[in-house]
């Protein structure tokens, strides 16, 4: 599909990669960009339509699908990482549940709500922002990794189920990106603007997947290595 003339909704559009998607969509000639955020007053970009949307709030998801009935490209970008370990019993499951609510059930609920909208508007596309950690578990981010692995499977299932109505699904895998989420992590990080550029190009090409950086490409290749990349010591 063409970005020019499209109507885009980006979740978590107030900062980080979400803000980069909103900027890139406007620059590529989108007819309208809904910049969805938990606090719409935090959307600083001119030229977008800010809307209030917490992706874990069923009523707000339903309202967004009703009110943004012209959407042709849904970008499920919102995500959280709480840094929970797997074996610390004192941590409970609250942090992991929050990650799954936002990173897995959020995009699922959004796509389910917007599927009829996309169908009515000719098919369009869904982008799901995943991670290199969909394929690899990182110490300190193991439950986040699990949520992104589940979201990868979700993305593949949605692609199957949306095919009949002509809606394409593009999964975006990226390692570390220069945003608030990775602020404390040292080393090279890809810029969110570059990830947004690659994503919109993939949507235009009808590609199922973006492997945004060298680390992500090497992780994916490592799935078939012996030993596989996810079994190596970290």
Ligand X SMILES: NC(=O)c1ccc[n+]([C@@H]2O[C@H](COP(=O)([O-])OP(=O)(O)OC[C@H]3O[C@@H](n4cnc5c(N)ncnc54)[C@H](OP(=O)(O)O)[C@@H]3O)[C@@H](O)[C@H]2O)c1
What residue ranges bind ligand X (CB under 6 A)?
11-12, 14-18, 37-39, 53-56, 77-80, 102, 129, 131, 174, 176-177, 179-182
Whether residue 21 lies in the annotated active site: no
Q: How far is the CB of 5 from ligand X (least distance, A)?
A: 26
Cβ nearer to ligand X, comparing 125 with 190: 190
Comparison of 79 and 124: residue with beta carbon closer to ligand X: 79
Of residues 186 and 227, the one with the C-beta less far from ligand X: 186
**Which lies closer to ligand X via its Cβ, residue 54 or residue 124?**
54
- The minimum distance between CB 171 and ligand X, in angstroms, equals 11
Q: How far apart are CA 138 and CA 86, in angstroms?
A: 11
**Minimum distance, C-beta of residue 181 to ligand X, in the bound complex (Å):** 4
Sequence-distant (≥ 6) Cβ neighbours of residue 227 within 8 angstroms: none
Nearer to ligand X, 100 or 176 (CB): 176
Distances in whole angstroms, Cα of residue 36 to Cα of each of 151, 159, 198, 224: 20, 23, 21, 38
State the DSSP code for 103: I
Q: Of the residues 21, 34, 144, 230, which is catalytic? A: 144
State the nearest-atom distance from the C-beta of 129 to ligand X, in Å.
4
Contacts 24+ apart (CB under 8 A), 104-107: 104/147, 104/150, 104/151, 104/154, 105/56, 106/11, 106/55, 106/56, 106/76, 106/78, 107/55, 107/76, 107/151, 107/154, 107/155
The helices-and-strands tally (H runs, E runs) of the chain is: 7, 7
Enter the DSSP assignment of 164.
G
Query: What is the arrangement of strands in the sheet containing 7-10, beginning at the earlier edge strand?
Result: 49-52, 32-37, 7-10, 73-76, 125-129, 168-173, 209-211
Closest separation in Å from C-beta 197 to ligand X:
15
Sign of the C-alpha dihedral computed for residues 224, 226, 230 and 234 taken in this order: negative
| Active centre residues (catalytic) | 144
């Amino acid at each position: 599909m063409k970005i020019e003339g499209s109507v885009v909704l980006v979740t978590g559009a107030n900062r980080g990669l979400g803000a980069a998607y909103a900027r890139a969509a406007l620059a590529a000639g989108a007819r309208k960009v809904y910049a969805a955020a938990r606090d719409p007053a935090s959307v600083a970009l001119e030229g977008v339509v800010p809307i209030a949307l917490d992706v874990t709030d069923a009523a707000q998801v339903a309202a967004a699908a009703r009110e943004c009935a012209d959407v042709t490209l849904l970008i499920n970008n919102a995500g959280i990482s709480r840094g929970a370990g797997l074996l610390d019993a004192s941590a409970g499951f609250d942090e992991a549940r929050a990650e799954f609510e936002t990173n897995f059930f959020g995009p699922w609920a959004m796509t389910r709500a917007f599927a009829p909208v996309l169908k009515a508007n000719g098919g369009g596309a869904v982008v799901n922002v995943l991670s290199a950690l969909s394929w690899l578990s990182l110490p300190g981010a193991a439950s986040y990794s699990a949520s992104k692995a589940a979201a990868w499977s979700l993305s593949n299932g949605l692609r199957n189920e949306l095919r009949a109505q002509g809606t394409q699904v593009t999964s975006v895998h990226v390692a570390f990106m220069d945003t608030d989420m990775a602020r404390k992590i040292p080393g090279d990080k890809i810029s969110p603007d570059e990830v947004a550029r690659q994503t919109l190009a993939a949507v235009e090409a009808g590609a199922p997947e973006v492997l945004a950086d060298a680390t992500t490409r090497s992780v994916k290749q490592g799935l078939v290595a012996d030993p596989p990349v996810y079994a190596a010591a970290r």
